[in-house]
Amino acid sequence: MRHNTELLQSYDALTKSVVFVQGNQGISLVDYNKVDLTPIGSGRSAYVFKIRESNRVLKVFYPPFEGIAAKEAEIYQSLKGISFYPALYDYGENYLVIDHIEGLTLFECLVHGKKMNERHVELIDEALGMARERGLNPSDIHLHNIIITPTDEVKLIDVARFRQEKFCTQWEDIKTVFYKYYIKKYFPKKWSARILYFIAALYKKKLLTRFY
């Protein structure tokens, strides 16, 4: 997995250029190498940057989540060769370097009104099945970590929880809603982000089980 020293030092230097600060509202990004990095997203444990003039991204974990980097890297190594998942190029104490995936997440598809179909669901099932064949337990599958590419293929990212022991029902619940509601002609295909986040909050509190 480790490549030449110059490349390693380059990734390491890019990571060291990223500076976070803890504030009243949580972690904030305050500085990074603006020549070589472009911020493209953030989550509950990391910021993601597109590495300019490449098809790779740098995922930098902030305190206290740095240890997730090695765990997620190990999982990506287990998934090596499966086209549904990005390839891992390098990792360090608090970062990963993986493929940059073009496309829209399922969440963005709903916000933009891009229609999803049964083939997408079948491909996601296939991707998760292939992960299970590698001894993993796909968990925490949600609308933000499944991407539909411009060529209408499916990619899955953020695999850190693929070694959880408990059975995760999130993807099965999404599928149930898809077949019970989404594919119906009357069901709206475009939703505001605010409504989707509200629905997600209700789901986490287990207040929606009677509907599916």
CA separation for the pair 112, 193 (Å, rounded) = 10
pLDDT at 22: 86
CA separation for the pair 169, 140 (Å, rounded) = 8
Cα separations (Å) of 199 from 107, 156, 205?
12, 22, 10
**Residue with structure tokens 């500076």?**
19
Does the annotation count 90 as an active-site position?
Answer: no
With left for phi above 0 and alpha for psi between -120 and 50, is residue 206 left, alpha or beta?
left
> What are the φ/ψ torsions at residue 156 (nearest 5 degrees)?
-120, 135
Nearest to 212 by CA among 177, 172, 186: 177
CA separation for the pair 127, 125 (Å, rounded) = 5
pLDDT at 6 over 70: no
Summarised one tens digit per residue, pLDDT across range 58-79 is 999 999 999 999 999 999 999 9
**Residue with structure tokens 């110059």?**
6
pLDDT at 2: 44
pLDDT at 188: 96
Give CA 116 to chain center in angstroms: 18
E-state strands within the chain: 19-23, 26-31, 37-42, 46-51, 56-61, 88-91, 95-99, 104-105, 146-148, 154-156
Summarised one tens digit per residue, pLDDT across range 146-166 is 999 999 999 999 999 999 988
CA separation for the pair 144, 157 (Å, rounded) = 9
pLDDT at 1 over 80: no
Task: Indicate which residue of 12, 36, 140, 173 is catalytic.
Answer: 140
Token pair, residue 102, equals 């073009």
